[in-house]
Structure 1
Amino acid sequence: MIELHNVSKQYPMREGMRTVLQGINLRVRPGEKLGILGRNGSGKSTLIRLIGGAEKPSSGRITRSMRVSWPLALISGFGGSLTGRDSLRMVCRIYGVDWHDKLGFVKDFTELGRYFDEPVQSYSHGMMARLAFAVSMVIDFDCFLIDEVVAVGDSTFTERCNHQLFGQRGHKAMVIVSHSEAFIRQHCDHAAVLVDGQLHSFDDNELAFAFYKDSLAIPEDSAS
């Protein structure tokens, strides 16, 4: 289970501290698919980084009793002089997994060819995203964090990603943050809406979608 208890996040700005998230309470159970809707700039990516542990809250508490993935859209951890093979080996070592057993899958799935043994800094954005996605699939996470729609290639490759994530790992818990109501409808059991740094949860998903549509009518400069 993942629990957020009165979590807030602030960042220093020239004009003072800016509150991005305020008093967030959230619970994700094993196998649950939670969708969090919010307009661009609402703090969705900040929230998912906090859930994954990439950032720490300014206040409040986060507890995890499940193995949680990094945000699947995050590729910043793959760079420098490490090759694709080195990156796989490094991640597997961190999580205590034998990388030799995962090598064939990652090479086949990424379709990087000879670039698999080239420095990641020479990769295009798409190549880096494919590597990050494939490596995340070889770790037995209990909960996957998904930042926006998973699309790291052409339509055929995207279908392969969706099959791996929502098909092969459909029994895992997931937290999906997006501004796409259709994507949340397709993949999530429950929905919440992030507005002005506060998370609004609903027992009825249709109420969540209606609330989200209403929130889009708020002028952009009024949103956090």
Structure 2
Amino acid sequence: MIKLERATKHVRMKGVSKTIIDNVSFMIPRGKSVGLLGRNGAGKSTLLQIIAGTLDLDKGRVIRRGKVSWPLGFQGSFQGNLTGEQNVRFVARIYGVDTDELVDYVADFAELGAFYNAPVRTYSSGMKARLAFGVSMGVKFDYYLVDEITAVGDTNFKRKSHQVFTDRLADSDVIMVSHSPETLRDYCQSGIVLENGKLTYYNDIEDAIVVHEENLKRR
């Protein structure tokens, strides 16, 4: 269970203050994967960071009952001067998992070769994405937060990534941001629409998609 209590968050965009969520009390239940929909700039990625705990609220609090991942599409937490392996060891210590086991898992999964022992600042964006996804799959969470899931690498790597992620969701839920209704239908059963600082939960992802598309028509 993830619960927001009287949660408020403002951000500055192009010098203008924007309300992302406004005095919201809301619960995301366990047991169903959720698609998060909203207009461009509504604050979906910001909300994921709030749920993850990487961004603080201005007011209110977030209650988490379960282990919550960082947003899977986010690579900015890597220290560029450290190697891929050193970054993985740091993550392992933070999340209390076996360090050597995670290092070996990511080495095999990410297929970075010698670059695994090179500074992350030398990586291409695709290599960073492989490292980020490998670390995320190597740590088991109750909730996986996904910000625009991106397929990287060749066909075999994409197939492997999809299979591992699907396997993880057998015992875990996902909260996913995507502009693709088909992607949301593939992974999510229910939906949340973020509109004008408010969150509305829909038990069926199809209902959430319909409401979101109607919102877009009212620009």
Normalised TM-score (structure 2): 0.91
How far is the alpha carbon of 1:137 from its aligned partner?
A: 1.5
Percent of pairs with identical residues: 39
Which residue of 2 is the match for residue 152 of structure 1? Answer: 152
Deviation at 1:193, TM superposition (A): 1.2
Alignment correspondent of 1:88: 88
Q: Partners of 1:13 and 1:121 in 2: how far apart? A: 27
| Correspondence 1:95-114 to 2 at 5 A | 95-114=95-114
- Partner AA of 1:98 in structure 2: D
Name the structure 2 match of 1:43: 43
Which residue is 1:58 aligned to?
58
1:101-140 correspondence runs (5 A):
101-140=101-140
Q: Which moved more, 1:168-177 or 1:52-61?
A: 168-177
CA RMSD of aligned residues (A): 1.9
Amino acid across the alignment from 2:110? T
**2: distance between equivalents of 1:204 and 1:74?**
27
The more displaced of 101-110 and 21-30 is 21-30
8 Å CA contact 1:35, 1:190 repeated in 2: yes
Change (3 A) 1:142 1:15: closer
The answer (yes or no) to whether the contact 1:8–1:58 under 8 Å persists in 2 is yes
Describe the SS at the equivalent of 1:89: helix
Deviations 1:19-50 (A, max 9, x none): 12223333233332111112321211011000
**Separation of aligned partners in 1, 2:15 and 2:83:** 42
- The CA distance in 1 between the partners of 2:81 and 2:100, in whole Å, is 21
Q: Which residue of structure 2 lines up, in the alignment, with residue 174 of structure 1?
A: 174
**Aligned residue for 1:190?**
190
Q: 1:12 offset after TM fit, Å?
A: 4.2
Task: Say yes or no: does 1:73 pair with 2:85.
Answer: no
Q: Is the CA contact 1:44–1:177 (under 8 Å) kept in the aligned structure 2?
A: yes
Q: Name the aligned partner's letter for residue 106 of structure 2.
A: V
Compared CA separation, residues 14 and 215, structure 1 to 2 (3 A): closer
Residue 15 of structure 1 deviates from its aligned partner by 5.9
The 8 Å contact of residues 35 and 177 in structure 2, kept in 1 or not, is answered as yes
Counting matched residue pairs gives: 219
Residue 4 to residue 124, structure 1, CA distance change in 2 (3 Å): same
Contact conserved, 2:142 with 2:171, CA < 8 A, in 1? no
1:195-223 per-position Cα deviation (integer Å, ceiling 9, x unaligned): 2222222234332221111111132xxxx
| Whole-angstrom CA distance in 2 between matches of 1:80 and 1:99 | 20
Counterpart secondary structure, 1:216: helix
- SS of 2:217's partner is coil
- Name the residue aligned to 2:2: 2
- Residue ranges of structure 2 left out of the alignment (5+ in a row): none
After TM superposition, give the deviation of residue 113 of structure 1 in Å.
0.4
TM-score w.r.t. the length of structure 1 is: 0.89
Determine the structure 2 residue equivalent to 1:31: 31
Residues 39 and 179 in structure 1, CA contact (< 8 A), matched pair in contact too: no
C-alpha separation between the residues in 1 aligned to 2:47 and 2:7?
Answer: 9
TM superposition shift of 1:74? 0.7
Instruction: State the distance in 1 between where 2:107 and 2:18 align.
Output: 43
